Structure 1
């Protein structure tokens, strides 16, 4: 492994592990069940796969060239994260869990979708990758194979990190699911998602 590849792996690991909406939504689902947490983690990795594919294809450049499209995606992403936060806080206030919601969480369909949509609707991700990947392509080297390798590294890191977070939360679940601890975690994750969504919406409206 060459020095540039090692450096990129370190930078990408930091980007993937950085706390944000992805991390919060994985923790939130992992508190429901291990299956829900891992499904959500796989959804986040799927969103990253989409972003890296767009970056490799150069499609992300369109977001830079068309500010209106970028702003629309920002609004959609912020609104979705805000919705997840409000929904978490509403569930906390209600202090009850419906059978239908539990069934959907157990199936893994909703957590998988939440993880994917939360990541996929972040328009900054493909632009970040578009600007980052070329920095680690050696001069004179074929660009496509190298960027594909870099994209693969990002996705693999996500497939390791987010399921690990979900499994750790599930491991601590016996303590975290105690009524008082569960309410605290729900309040923190719901508030974090609400704040993140509000920040995304504010940034897009000010742009």
Structure 2
């Protein structure tokens, strides 16, 4: 068995499962509905697919080498995550003022499509991802091995892990939905996730470039 491959799977699993903006936005979407949560999870995996494709193609190196491009992505990502956080906080505050649960968009396909876009954009606009992939993947390419096939394999593993983990998170939140969707609990969860997203967005905006 390939020891390096096993080690990579462990590292990649920890990286994917680490709480962050992706996790938070999936939880927030899953509170709306199971379909929205799973759609958001698939969107996150789609964003990872973009990052891994860029790393395989070597384009991530260009982003890292040009500070202006990196900073532009950082600002765009921070602004978007901050926007999601503010929207969640506003929803929680409005719900508290009316003593009801948070506002939920139940408009079927529209809500699912929006959740997918939120998951995709939250991940694809994360400026740390290309840096992480470009620095991580080469470490698990054995000396003398064909670089492209090996890198494609490693990238596929990351995307597969995301496709397993984030839908599980969404389904777990939905399974607890009868408790989490109680008005008071739902307001609290939405407020906490909104605060986390807002804090992550501000961190990206004020963090210096490379």
TM-score scaled by structure 1?
0.95
Matched residue, 1:40: 40
Distance 1:105 1:201 in 2: 32
Moved more, 148-157 or 121-130: 121-130
TM-score scaled by structure 2?
0.94
Please list every run of at least 4 consecutive aligned residues from structure 1 whose deviation after the TM superposition is greater than 3 angstroms. Answer: 104-107
Structure 1 residue 97 corresponds to structure 2 residue 103: yes
Aligned length: 204
Structure 1 residue 50 corresponds to structure 2 residue 50: yes
Shift of 1:180: 1.1
CA deviations on 1:34-83 (whole Å, 9 max, x unpaired) are 00000000000000000000000000001111000000000000000000
Task: For residue 31 of structure 1, give the secondary structure of its aligned residue in structure 2.
Answer: helix
Distance 2:28 2:155 in 1: 27
In structure 2, runs of 5+ residues without a counterpart are 96-101
Contact 1:33 1:106 in 2 (8 A): no
Contact 2:92 2:188 in 1 (8 A): no
Contact 1:54 1:126 in 2 (8 A): yes
Shift of 1:109: 0.4
Task: For residue 102 of structure 1, give the secondary structure of its aligned residue in structure 2.
Answer: coil
Contact 1:22 1:44 in 2 (8 A): yes
RMSD: 1.4
Matched residue, 1:163: 167
Structure 1 residue 203 corresponds to structure 2 residue 184: no
